């Protein structure tokens, strides 16, 4: 009876946001939302509802397993930590390897060993012991002014520090997780000293103080404030979707950096099995669905790339460019985040 009531709260969470307090109350009392062997799985998602909902519906249709979701913009790792062994959550969905690693570091994940997952997901895009798995990839690219920059004028991340671009570059905060991962990749490839010189050079070339999100940088190119912006690739598609942003996208072309060398910097969105996971078998089934039949659907929601090699890309995304990816193991990026953040402070990047 009690459990049925709690389940109802979860369902309501799909529609409303009052679910958070309910879940906390439920776990404080030591109850779980659905017991092992039931046909449910509980997800904590830092990804927005529209990105994961179609996928969960497809999973439910195929397996009969109901997916209950709590969405939040932040704080879910902390919540998993406070809930401990009583947490109702089975899976954590998030973007950025840094955030997945935060969950691992907080001790709220457990390793998954699955032949389906290991066969589908390259080692580069998963935790060495299986504490998290990348499910889609995204790349950090350059948005370049059609009017003011000739094709071929900028080709590499390293070029961003070139004197030629003085006062012509826009980006968001250096402390943003997307930029931290990019800086971490520069440290991995060039060492700290070289990377720091580069970052100071980029800072010297900024047209304005770091501010706004990735799309705001492309808007600034459209407004003539800068000529080159750093941003994640999928925002191109998102800007094209919106009437008021289409002109921003129309003012730029995309450059996938470092094609003649190591390839373009890659990050992931991914999933971790929680340590508590009351519905572990169902959760692993959902992970395997994501890595298998759900790959195309999941990637498409946000113009991302399937993590599984050989899965076709959305034609529109393919038209933006087929490129060589940096093969650096994504775990290395997570490990260098702290060093990247200190470097951002040392060069006064955001100041
Ligand atoms: Fe994003």
Domains and CATH numbers, the chain: 2-136+267-314 (3.40.190.10), 138-265+322-346 (3.40.190.10)
Burial of 253 (0-12, 13-18, 19+ CB in 10 A): middle
DSSP string, 133-170: EEEEEEEEEEEEETTTS-TTS--SGGGGGSGGGTT-EE
Distance in Å, CA 324 to ligand 1 centroid = 21
Distance in Å, CA 109 to ligand 1 centroid = 23
Q: Is the pLDDT of residue 161 over 70?
A: yes
Distance in Å, CA 165 to ligand 1 centroid = 25
Classify the C-alpha dihedral 169-173-174-177 as positive or negative: negative
Q: What is the pTM of this model?
A: 0.89
Distance in Å, CA 184 to ligand 1 centroid = 18
Judged by DSSP in three states, 244 sits in coil
Average of per-residue pLDDT across 66-76: 95
Q: Do the Cβ atoms of 330 and 128 come closer than 8 Å?
A: no
Q: Is the pLDDT of residue 229 over 50?
A: yes
Distance in Å, CA 285 to ligand 1 centroid = 26
pLDDT tens for each residue of 169-228: 999 999 999 999 999 999 999 999 999 999 999 999 999 999 999 999 999 999 999 999
Average of per-residue pLDDT across 60-85: 96
Average of per-residue pLDDT across 303-308: 98
pLDDT band at 37 (very low <50, low <70, confident <90, very high): low
Q: Do the Cβ atoms of 296 and 308 come closer than 8 Å?
A: no
Distance in Å, CA 122 to ligand 1 centroid = 22
> How many angstroms separate the CA atoms of 220 and 339, rounded?
29
Q: Which helix (H) or strand (E) holds 291?
A: helix 280-291
Q: Do the Cβ atoms of 239 and 249 come closer than 8 Å?
A: yes
Distance in Å, CA 232 to ligand 1 centroid = 7
The predicted structure's pLDDT at residue 15: 33
Distance in Å, CA 345 to ligand 1 centroid = 23
Q: Which helix (H) or strand (E) holds 330?
A: helix 330-335
Q: Is the pLDDT of residue 17 over 50?
A: no
The predicted structure's pLDDT at residue 38: 74
């Amino acid at each position: 009876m009690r459990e049925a009531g709690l389940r109802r709260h979860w369902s309501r969470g799909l529609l409303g946001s009052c679910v958070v307090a309910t879940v906390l109350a439920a776990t404080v009392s030591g109850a779980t939302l659905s017991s092992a062997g039931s046909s449910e799985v509980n997800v904590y998602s830092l990804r927005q509802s529209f990105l994961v909902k179609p996928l969960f519906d497809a999973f439910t249709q195929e397996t009969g397993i109901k997916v209950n979701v709590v969405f939040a913009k932040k704080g879910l790792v902390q919540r998993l930590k406070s809930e401990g062994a009583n947490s109702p959550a089975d899976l954590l969905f998030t973007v950025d390897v840094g955030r997945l690693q935060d969950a691992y570091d907080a001790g709220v994940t457990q390793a998954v060993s699955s032949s389906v997952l290991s066969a589908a997901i390259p080692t580069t895009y998963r935790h060495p012991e299986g504490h998290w798995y990348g499910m889609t990839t995204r790349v950090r690219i350059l948005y370049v002014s059609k009017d003011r920059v000739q094709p071929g004028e900028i080709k590499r991340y390293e070029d961003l520090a070139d004197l030629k671009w003085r006062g012509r570059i826009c980006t968001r905060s250096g402390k943003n997780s997307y930029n931290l991962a990019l800086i971490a990749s520069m440290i991995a490839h060039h060492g700290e000293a070289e990377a720091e010189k580069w970052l100071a050079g980029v800072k010297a070339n900024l047209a304005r103080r770091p501010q706004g999100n990735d799309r705001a940088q492309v808007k600034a190119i459209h407004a003539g404030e800068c000529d080159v912006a750093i941003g994640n690739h999928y925002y191109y598609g998102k800007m094209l979707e919106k009437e008021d942003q289409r002109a921003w996208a129309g003012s730029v072309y995309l450059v996938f950096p470092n094609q003649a060398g190591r390839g373009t910097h890659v990050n992931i969105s991914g999933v971790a099995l929680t340590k508590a996971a009351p519905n572990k078998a169902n959760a692993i089934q959902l992970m395997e669905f994501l890595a298998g039949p759900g790959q195309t659907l999941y990637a498409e929601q946000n113009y991302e790339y399937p993590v599984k090699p050989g899965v076709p890309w959305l034609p529109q995304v393919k038209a933006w460019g087929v490129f060589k990816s940096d093969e650096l193991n994504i775990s290395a990026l997570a490990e260098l985040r702290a060093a990247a953040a200190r470097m951002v402070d040392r060069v006064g990047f955001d100041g």
